[in-house]
């Protein structure tokens, strides 16, 4: 199955979760037709994940009722696909800031990533631990 097909299945499956919003993040670069200079596009380019968005979390008892959006970043790969160094760095930065980031090679991988990321946020350890 192609990366595009895996990504579409992940978007459709996770799109049913009421606490999660993900968007396609097209990253790349193209030459400006007027100047010939390369223009990069996409959030986190180069290295930004294929799917980005947020997971809504209701926070601790001290902040009862308040909700926060936790940045969520999913890099979609085929079973044999490899991460580029820029993609690894992107995930490291997102996790270091308390976000959820990882690689998904299937719908099941993406579901586990979102669940584990949420469980980590509820733990007593800091997000980067």
Q: Name the E strands within the chain.
A: 20-24, 28-31, 38-41, 51-58, 67-76, 100-104
Domain extent for 70: 3-122
| Domains of the chain: total | 1
In a domain, 8, yes or no: yes
In a domain, 127, yes or no: no
Q: What tens digit of pLDDT does each residue of 7-55 get? A: 999 999 999 999 899 999 998 899 999 999 999 999 988 889 999 999 9
Q: Phi first, then psi: give them for residue 91, nearest 5 degrees.
A: -65, -40
Q: What tens digit of pLDDT does each residue of 90-124 get? A: 999 999 999 999 999 999 999 999 988 766 655 44
Q: What tens digit of pLDDT does each residue of 40-50 get? A: 999 988 889 99
* pLDDT at residue 127 tops 60: no
In a domain, 38, yes or no: yes
In a domain, 31, yes or no: yes
Pairing between β-strand 67-76 and β-strand 51-58 as defined by DSSP bridges: antiparallel
Record the tokens describing residue 46, joined without a space: 């180069």
In a domain, 101, yes or no: yes
CATH number of the domain at 25, please: 3.40.1350.10
pTM for the model? 0.80
In a domain, 111, yes or no: yes
Pairing between β-strand 38-41 and β-strand 20-24 as defined by DSSP bridges: unpaired
């Amino acid at each position: 199955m192609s990366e595009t097909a895996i990504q579409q299945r992940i978007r459709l499956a996770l799109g049913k979760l009421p606490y999660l919003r993900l968007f396609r993040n097209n990253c790349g670069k193209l030459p400006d037709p007027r100047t010939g200079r390369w223009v990069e596009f996409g959030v986190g380019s180069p290295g930004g994940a294929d799917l980005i968005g947020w997971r809504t979390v209701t926070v601790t008892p001290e902040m009862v009722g308040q909700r926060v959006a936790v940045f969520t970043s999913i890099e979609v790969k085929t079973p044999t696909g490899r991460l580029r160094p820029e993609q690894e760095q992107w995930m490291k930065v997102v996790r270091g800031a308390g976000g959820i980031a990882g690689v998904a090679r299937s719908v099941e991988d993406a579901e586990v990533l979102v669940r584990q990321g949420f469980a980590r946020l509820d733990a007593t350890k800091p997000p980067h631990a």
